[in-house]
Amino acid sequence: MSDNTPSVAVLGTGIMGFPMARNLARVGLDVRAWNRGRAKAAPLAADGVRVADTPADAVRGADVVLTMLFDGPAALDVMRDAAPGLRAGAVWAQSTTAGLDGFDSLAAFAREHGLVLVDAPVLGTKQPAEEGKLTVLAAGPEEARGTLSPVFDAIGGRTVWVADEAAGGAATRLKLVLNSWVLTVTHGAAEALALAKGLGVDPADFLAAVEGGPLDMGYLRAKSRLILDGGLTPPSFATATAEKDARLIVAAGERAGVRLDVTAAGAERFRRAAEQGHGQEDMAASYFASFDD
């Protein structure tokens, strides 16, 4: 393939990976996809995606390998399974939120297998993924950018290049900072609505009081709507995934000598909500962690 029309293997077709693979195919790229549960990937065949039975089959001959899996260990396990099909010199766009320790292991794998690693987490959830409007946070060498341009253009509304090498994890670091803010805002909305319920305050009065002022924001409106309207499924960002990300953020802070008490407490809220049966609902289900039943 030429640099302008790369073949792409997408490993992981969950909430984010599925629409990303679909959008890649819809702009005419040669796409093959793999998911641990084949049923999740199978509908992509209608868009011209070749659904593979194994990671190695998916990546065989691919110019670009895009990983969008649960966490760093999952991404490493899948790439080890893919190793027999990997081509030295292929570009690996690693979009899994892996944390700093997880990213270090992935970077080591890339070096061992002669892959051109690009640290490429994305900012956005299910709807922007479906619309091809994610923000791609990217760190990697100039030589990979031409190959990745049509890939990132298909999945994202914009690409922010933050470094010219991937090994330092600059994009992963930025993603952790961004996610720390997203999770904090989510808990803030959830706790405010929970307190309103406990105190007998109409949530509409709370939202009206902040409307149009400096305390108002789109994310507050979106998460409040999910909680109040019971629209937590299907999730844009699942509670179980949010707990995982929160713990990665806390670990990154510890590694840097930074205490993140709010994020640590938030991880426990997500854990409690998951234990109550809300793990696969939108992370706004943090709301339920405020109550014992």
Residues contacting residue 260 through CB under 8 Å, at least 6 positions apart: 180, 249, 250, 253
Q: Which two tokens stand for residue 211?
A: 């409307």
Q: Which of 175, 197, 223, 244 is catalytic?
A: 175
d(CA 14, CA 40): 7
Q: Identify whether 175 is a catalytic site residue.
A: yes
Q: How far apart are CA 12 and CA 55, in angstroms?
A: 9
Distance in Å from the first CA to the final CA of the chain: 56
Closest among 291, 180, 278 to 232, alpha carbons compared: 278
Comparing CA positions, the residue from 220, 200, 201, 202 lying closest to residue 210 is: 220
Structure tokens at 257: 């000598």
- Between CA 101 and CA 6 the distance in angstroms is 30
Q: Which amino acid is at 83?
A: A
d(CA 269, CA 272): 5
Q: What are the φ and ψ backbone dihedral angles of 258, each rounded to 5 degrees? A: -120, 125
Closest-CA residue to 134 (of 253, 271, 36, 24):
24
Burial of 242 (0-12, 13-18, 19+ CB in 10 A): buried
Hey, which residues are catalytic here? 175
